[in-house]
Structure 1
């Protein structure tokens, strides 16, 4: 990658070097005119190591088959082509590889490789800076970004691609636990280093929990694993089978309650014809954002209060081998599922004592060696412990998205300020758009947003 020496001014700044940031950068490089100066600002290098794809554990698999993971809307087989070109799976032909759930570590390498190719083919210049952006201000001359170290950077346009943040563990006393007794699920090496005979509690029963169980098993863990969550619902697997044939469009005119009843009816009808319920859910996959936006505000609130976890387990499914491992551990008596709300975590000698309340508000306790926070993605921008987002919200350059989720933006991703004014020089890409779109975490949504943001911002400069 070519670089320019410590620029004080650039044309396009991309804040974040995870999947959404790299896809935006690649799009900008492909459409750039001669002389475009592009900067990626990412404190955690190498690039591509956002929360989803930073893992080096080969047991952490993509939740979607390789054939559906292209980073580019106009090249649907691009990720598959990369895997074949790189020779990553010599034992699989194209058809078999397209249906395979491959380790996530390959996706970070794929994005970096495509970025390098885009740099080589583009007249633009790219610099990657291992910097954290702490503040943003909009002025007539551009968008000024304050960095954690060094002088500020002024950009003609900015893409905010900060990615996901882990939700804090919701328990009193967590901050007082000794080092090593409370581990974040995304700290893969720390999870693998848990003593093999230690009893462990994982708070949260979603995708991060499944990753933790896989890592523990690969490290030879023999202790008991307790999974505590409010609904005690494990992720569900993908399934092969015929496609469901119903028309999902009428769902858009229904209320939330009507949609749930209709989907249940379609699933029952599909089962009578030997079609798995997963095919019913796959039928509505392209309508995810439209389904959210067509709900009334009241129904969106009902969804967030009552239905979101049930949506998650049916929509965000896991690879069949991972699901089989979870079931096998439960059958062996090593994986225990507890339904309850965590209240406190206190160090008691060599143990951590967790106190929780079940659905009837009756207390129960778990005594374990350590606790793992797998509560999932934080959706409230003001709670993400990100200094840039806190400054943007505090200064009024941004405001929370609908229902207090993410950052507010227009339908095209342009930043909306606290007073309602639109800042077209700043585009939001990825999970921060979740309040307005709901479906804004997976690659199909990220690649579309990144392509749109790259084209719009490059055109401005």
Structure 2
């Protein structure tokens, strides 16, 4: 009898216990018949935290108002109801709370509670496996999951929801810096532990940078904060008000250049009506996936080369209060924004020297005591530092997504193998589908994918 024959068996396995994985588990538990065995596999507990919600810092806010953050499309006020029942913000009435940007720490607790409630009300059995998955191997009418500790688990169907991977610091010598000299932006305790008196260089100017600055400020940081990125664009704020009133459907028939012209025209019209440009972005928000998928492959490449960073700062906006903090720091000179690309870092005693290409062919030279890597999410499937993803690609069970982004999937989320054939037992949700969908990171997309993934897994395992 082989080791595989001894492996415990479950009907369904969900790999990844962040927001996407937990939402999938909730839907599966709510729909399952008696006796179903479900495994939720996650190495880093507690559940539902992932990267976005792992912070316990009160100043790290959701990037959209609380009223838009329900984990369930059919219960749009669910997160708001949770906050009201918790009395998390007793000074705010319900309408004000719906418009408020609340601390992200509440969201993981919300999903954890909803998972416990689903588990208590389900006829199925949920097993939490505190481990990683290093390999997926077809076996008979199911799959064999090799865990990080070397043991195995068999499952009838699998959902892969492993979440985001941080890009490595893109500079020679980065790995030679000490732990005090090089800090990852997603390591929230390490950022908070930075000496308030030192000068810091934050590489990257997106949402992770904003989190790092908020943490440093809360710690009474006195040193200079240098921020370096290729375009030197800081995140833009949300604005009060609803969506602009125009029909966005004609955009789908346009090429990339025509769309950009059309959006600028809509922004001018909105301004003439007394609306902010943000109202235009809010109007097209529900069409995010359709806008990407209706572009030609050539226009998608042009977008990735020339437009993506400008799109990101307009699309992925931050709470007005956080934006105000960034602006105040710039005005008093404590936050200094540099346009450039770092190519090398080196330790010089207690200091770190950074060199790179600056604006208009100039060279950039900085000296600080600490470098924070805030370069954001790694999107290239083959560059993600995840043993499972590397095994899937190497074995031919998976192939990179369009333009090398994430993994390639069928329209329903089934994993496509090296030949483009959908795997009948493996479903992918979340950030790994960016190449195919583009909009596949935020809760409005994750909650829909999670519901669909649960239905698909139950059907594939013969357990409707």
1:299 aligns with 2:299: yes
Structure 1 residue 141 displacement after superposition: 2.8
CA distance in 1, matches of 2:359, 2:91: 49
Q: Which residue of 2 aligns with 1:106?
A: 106
1:423 counterpart residue number = 423
Deviation of 1:358 after TM superposition, in Å, equals 1.6
Q: 2:322 maps to which residue?
A: 322
Residue 376 (str. 1) matches residue 376 (str. 2):
yes
* Superposition deviation, residue 47 in structure 1: 0.5
Within 5 Å, which residues of 2 pair with 1:171-250?
171-250=171-250
Correspondence list, 1:107-126, <5 A = 107-126=107-126
Q: Distance in 1 between matches of 2:128 and 2:232?
A: 42
Q: Which residue of 2 aligns with 1:29?
A: 29
Instruction: Give the whole-Å Cα distance in 2 for the aligned partners of 1:141 and 1:459.
Output: 14
Indicate the residue corresponding to 1:139 in structure 2: 139
Report if aligned partners of 2:25, 2:454 keep a CA contact under 8 Å in 1: yes
Corresponding position of 2:3: none
> 1:196 touches 1:223 (CA, 8 Å); kept in 2?
yes
Tell whether 2:464 aligns with 1:454.
Answer: no
d(CA) in 2 for partners of 1:75 and 1:424? 30
Aligned to 1:281: 281
Distance in 2 (CA, whole Å) between partners of 1:125 and 1:268 is 55
Q: Equivalent residue for 1:97?
A: 97
In structure 1, how many angstroms separate the alpha carbons of the residues matched to 2:63 and 2:435?
A: 23
Cα distance, 1:253 vs. partner?
0.3
- The question of whether the paired residues in 2 share the 8 Å contact of 1:201 and 1:227 is answered with yes
The residue aligned with 1:346 is: 346
Distance apart, 1:189 and its partner CA: 0.8
Conserved? CA contact 1:165–1:377, under 8 Å? yes
Distance 1:351 1:122 in 2: 56
TM-aligned CA deviation for residue 420 of structure 1: 1.6
Q: How many Å apart are 1:419 and its aligned residue?
A: 1.6
Q: Which residue of structure 1 aligns with residue 52 of structure 2? A: 52
Change (3 A) 1:380 1:242: closer
Which residue is 1:3 aligned to?
Answer: none
Show CA shifts across 1:235-290 (max 9, x none). 00000135311110000000000000010011011111110000001000000000
Q: Distance in 2 between matches of 1:364 and 1:314?
A: 27
Alignment of 1:404-419 (within 5 A): 404-419=404-419
Cα shift at 1:460: 2.3
Task: Report if aligned partners of 1:413, 1:427 keep a CA contact under 8 Å in 2.
Answer: yes
Q: CA deviation at 1:196?
A: 0.9
Partners of 1:153 and 1:242 lie apart in 2 by: 48
Structure 1: distance between partners of 2:242 and 2:395: 52
1:87 maps to 87
Whether the 8 Å contact between 2:173 and 2:345 is mirrored in structure 1 is yes
1:150: Cα distance to partner? 4.5
Structure 1: runs of 5 or more not aligned = 1-5
| 241-250 or 365-374, which deviates more | 241-250
SS in 1 for 2:12: strand
> Does structure 2 conserve the Cα–Cα contact (< 8 Å) formed by 1:231 and 1:340?
yes
**What SS does the corresponding residue of 1:360 show, helix, strand or coil?**
helix
- What is the Cα deviation at residue 332 of structure 1? 1.0
How big is the shift at 1:121? 0.4
Cα distance in 2 for partners of 1:107, 1:241 equals 24
8 Å Cα contact 1:8/1:151 also seen in 2: no
Aligned to 1:445: 445
Pairs within 5 Å for 1:32-43: 32-43=32-43
Provide the rounded CA distance (Å) in 2 between the counterparts of 1:406 and 1:115.
27
Aligned equivalents of 2:57, 2:84: Cα separation in 1:
21
* Distance (Å, rounded) in 2 between the aligned partners of 1:151 and 1:373: 34
- What is the distance in 1 between the residues matched to 2:152 and 2:295? 42
Distance 2:314 2:32 in 1: 40
Q: Is the contact made by 2:347 and 2:353 (CA closer than 8 Å) also made in structure 1?
A: yes
What is the aligned-residue RMSD (CA, Å)? 1.0
Q: Deviations over 1:422-451 (max 9, x none)?
A: 112110010000000000000000000000
Q: TM-score, normalised by structure 1?
A: 0.98
Shift of 1:139: 2.5
Residues 424 and 460 in structure 2, CA contact (< 8 A), matched pair in contact too: no
Q: Distance in 2 between matches of 1:453 and 1:364?
A: 47
Consecutive aligned runs of 4 or more in structure 1 exceeding 2 Å deviation? none
Q: Distance in 1 between matches of 2:284 and 2:29?
A: 33
In 2, distance between residues paired with 1:127 and 1:87?
31
Gaps of 5+ in 2: 1-5
3-state SS of the aligned residue for 2:157? strand
- Contact 1:48 1:112 (C-alpha < 8 Å) held by counterparts: yes
- Give the Cα separation in 1 of the matches to 2:235 and 2:460: 43
Distance (whole Å) between structure 1 residues aligned to residue 296 and residue 359 of structure 2: 29
User: Alpha-carbon deviation of 1:359?
Assistant: 3.5
Where 2:83 maps in the other structure, the secondary structure is helix
TM-aligned CA deviation for residue 49 of structure 1: 1.6
2:242/2:282 contact within 8 Å kept: no
